[in-house]
Structure formats: C-alpha cells, structure tokens
Amino acid sequence: VIGLEQANSTEFEEKTPFPVIHLMPSQEHVKTKGATMRLGAYDCVVRQGTKSFIAYGKTEISERHRHRYE
C-alpha cells in the first residue's frame, strides 16, 4: 500500500527494517499481561504530508484500539 515491501509488525519481526506497528513504550517492561492493553478510542496526532493525513484530512483523529501495539 505504501511501497515498503519489507514493512512488518515488531510483534512478528523484531528487526524489521520498516516497523509500521510497534510495541507501545508503556508496554516495553510489562511481564504480566493482564489488563494492560489499550482499549477503546485513542486520540492521536497525524503529521501533515503523510498518507495518514491524506486519508483522514486532518491532524487530530480518534481511533479505536485493542492491543499492546500501535
């Protein structure tokens, strides 16, 4: 979709050259996984000039999350 043929999630390939999905910094040292996911809507900032900005048409968005990766 964005022309990065080796893009991957660090969940599956820790040393991927293009980590498009990455463990949230708040989860890096979590060993016990119970109730530590991000759940529900999350406000985030999209950089102008990115494909995400083109898709959303604005810099502030809210997306639903249910994972430890973003």
Higher pLDDT, 54 or 3: 54
Sign (positive/negative) of CA torsion 12, 17, 20, 23? Answer: positive
Domain range summary for the chain, segments of one domain joined by +? 7-67
* pLDDT tens-place string over residues 8-34: 888 788 888 888 877 777 777 776 666
In this prediction, residue 40 carries a pLDDT of: 72
Show the 3-state SS of 17-38.
CEEEECECHHHCCCCCCCCCCE
- Give the confidence band of 57 by pLDDT, cuts at 50, 70, 90: very high
In this prediction, residue 68 carries a pLDDT of: 60
